[in-house]
Amino acid sequence: MFRFFYRGDPFSQAAKSLAWGAFITGLLLIGFGMLVFILRDLFAFLAAAIFFLAGFSAIGYAVRLMIARHTMKNSDNLYRDNVEIHFDDEFDR
């Protein structure tokens, strides 16, 4: 009964799938390498643009943190309205 569900060697099928995956990955890497070689100016411009955007984003984040720190430091209102702190006493139970 088991022979109807068993089709070939599972290790052979796994090796075949792995070989095809590695072959397709190799072709994609070669193609991407050729594309970068041919269009190196475009890729250099894209990489530079990404670094510029990341730099401006980091500067904006730093400015926001400095402003928040400055407003928290200069805040004279240490008392908060509608805030109550409750401590549970272990011995009152």
* 31, 24 contact by CB (below 8 A): no
pLDDT score, position 82: 73
| CA distance linking residue 75 with residue 8, whole number of Å | 75
pLDDT score, position 87: 73
pLDDT score, position 16: 87
pLDDT tens, residue by residue, 34-50? 988 899 999 899 999 99
Residue 24 pLDDT more than 80? yes
Residue written as token pair 């075949």: 16
pLDDT score, position 6: 60
The model's pTM is: 0.48
| CA distance linking residue 52 with residue 59, whole number of Å | 11
| CA distance linking residue 93 with residue 77, whole number of Å | 36
pLDDT tens, residue by residue, 47-86? 999 999 999 999 999 999 999 888 877 766 566 667 777 7
Q: How many CB atoms lie within 10 A of CB 43?
A: 13
